[in-house]
Structure 1
């Protein structure tokens, strides 16, 4: 089990559940050192006091809040720990809400809550089973990392998960970011829904970090003195290029069906309707066949007529010559 990050208790009415917070995720990112390019020496961040220009050690560094220019109030860790907060050492459940009412944009980091000791087994199981049998999640408050946070408790594979959440006033209003109103046809919406259906999967276990894999490939090549991998082709669309939305959706549906091994013949559900001003209706198969037959006959007649005319001219020239 990974090292616990916090120890306290879940406060559930009059029920107390001793728990430890354990990180629910792992960091697989590739981390770089800052180096001096001429000799590859490490470049580190020095903690220097701006008043005396002296390097200070970690035990000489504390917290301070600037209340005015050139006036800072020191705040110690002991003072923070003694704040009169009921959530200082507890994850206090404040309410239960329907799971679907939680906006995903509010969810931040995730942690597992492990039962801390034998005494925690029964109340931990009680809360877990209560959440499992309902469609609700618990909303809680807890203090951690020098601040009080809003949390969400739910069940994952038999364990209680704590999601830290943003406070309501921390969520920006997205209305100013929305594009201007444009018309989208029902056919385009239906085709987009069909594409979404074709792209629906059962779980996300097949996803992996391709950027990290490519980065590891570059590092391995440089370490072994081999040529760097060839860069990927840029498949992005040029800025300002106009896209035929229905054609792009149709092509996307066909590609999704082909990737699933399905027959792509019936991928196009809605026929493209060209603009009355700029496009002409495509001829049907019968019309195209008729036109082709007429063109063939006409071509044949023209060829025969040309041959006859050429023969008459040749005969006239022979008579003149004789």
Structure 2
């Protein structure tokens, strides 16, 4: 597994050398843009709209637009110095909390953590301490020139680091338009909805969920590549357009009821006597 970052975890006076590995991978199918006439890949060039010339990488500087059309230029030396000063902090655990206190809206990306050289015992100690205390560590880390808040927890006997958003990066739910302030539902509607939830409740088995669009797209690509006949799949049965809430709930419950095994037909006396 490829190492993307090397450093250490520190909490109190304990220091654990670790390596970071991406825990997830992007399996989106990347499609290229081609020229329709000759099927050549399209090039995207950096061009200055004022000078009307193509710009080289060495001609580009970074800047912050503090107001429309007004910029503050940031030198590479300043950015490099700032990055170095912050990187020296490594992964510093600043607090321990219950994971239930962190809403999933804060989570960003997941990384596996493996022990560095001579860090095995300290790694095991932190893992065991997190398990026994039923806590997670809150830490800060610099990744790709950005300071991020992170959660350290145990997943299948491995330390995992989840980068999380800062509070000011999460938009306020009160700004979401058209959210009803009151629950204008009847008890019958609520009881029926809860019954539907109960019927659809199951154990979480991630293996049974697949990306159906990606699978279909790969099949389409392979069919075109090999010159096979492309077969259009039959559309799934369309959901009936039920506008009445109770009718929709009842229809959903009827649809999700477990099917009863077919009852065996009883033999008539005459038929039973004939078979004997």
Q: Deviations over 1:43-95 (max 9, x none)?
A: 12223355654444546655333457255232345323333x3x545111111
Q: TM-score, normalised by structure 1?
A: 0.71
Whether the 8 Å CA contact 2:22–2:111 is kept in 1: the answer is yes
- Structure with larger RCO (C-alpha < 8 A, sep 6+): 2
Change (3 A) 1:194 1:34: same
Mapped to 1, the partners of 2:201 and 2:152 lie a distance apart of: 27
Mapped to 2, the partners of 1:215 and 1:250 lie a distance apart of: 35
Structure 1 residue aligned with 2:42: 43
Q: How does 1:126-141 map to 2 (within 5 A)?
A: 126-141=125-140
Q: Which moved more, 1:198-207 or 1:150-159?
A: 198-207
Q: Which runs of 5+ in 1 are unaligned?
A: 264-322
Q: SS in structure 2 opposite 1:29?
A: coil
Mapped to 2, the partners of 1:128 and 1:58 lie a distance apart of: 45
Structure 2 residue 220 is matched with structure 1 residue 218? yes
Mapped to 2, the partners of 1:245 and 1:70 lie a distance apart of: 54
Structure 2 residue aligned with 1:201: 202
Whether the 8 Å CA contact 2:63–2:71 is kept in 1: the answer is no
Structure 2 residue aligned with 1:307: none
Q: Deviations over 1:252-273 (max 9, x none)?
A: 2232233xx457xxxxxxxxxx
Q: SS in structure 1 opposite 2:217?
A: helix
Matched pairs, number: 254
Q: TM-score, normalised by structure 2?
A: 0.82
Whether the 8 Å CA contact 2:63–2:72 is kept in 1: the answer is no
Aligned-pair distance for 1:102?
A: 0.5
Structure 2 residue aligned with 1:229: 232
Which structure's CA Rg is the greater one? 1
Mapped to 1, the partners of 2:66 and 2:76 lie a distance apart of: 12
Change (3 A) 1:10 1:61: farther
Mapped to 2, the partners of 1:255 and 1:162 lie a distance apart of: 41
Q: SS in structure 1 opposite 2:162?
A: strand
Mapped to 2, the partners of 1:197 and 1:161 lie a distance apart of: 32
Q: SS in structure 1 opposite 2:151?
A: strand
Structure 2 residue aligned with 1:74: 75
Q: How does 1:30-109 map to 2 (within 5 A)?
A: 30-50=29-49, 52-58=51-57, 61=60, 63-66=62-65, 69=70, 71-76=72-77, 78-83=80-85, 85=86, 88-109=88-109
Change (3 A) 1:132 1:59: farther
Mapped to 2, the partners of 1:70 and 1:102 lie a distance apart of: 37
Aligned-pair distance for 1:115?
A: 0.9
Mapped to 2, the partners of 1:137 and 1:159 lie a distance apart of: 13
Aligned-pair distance for 1:121?
A: 0.3
Q: SS in structure 2 opposite 1:220?
A: helix
Q: Which runs of 5+ in 2 are unaligned?
A: 262-276
Q: SS in structure 2 opposite 1:34?
A: coil
Q: Which moved more, 1:46-55 or 1:94-103?
A: 46-55
Q: Deviations over 1:125-163 (max 9, x none)?
A: 111011111222111111112221111111100111111
Q: SS in structure 1 opposite 2:148?
A: strand
Q: Deviations over 1:179-200 (max 9, x none)?
A: 3534112222222222222222
Q: Which moved more, 1:132-141 or 1:225-234?
A: 225-234
Change (3 A) 1:195 1:70: closer
Structure 2 residue aligned with 1:256: 256
Mapped to 1, the partners of 2:210 and 2:225 lie a distance apart of: 24
Mapped to 1, the partners of 2:99 and 2:56 lie a distance apart of: 47
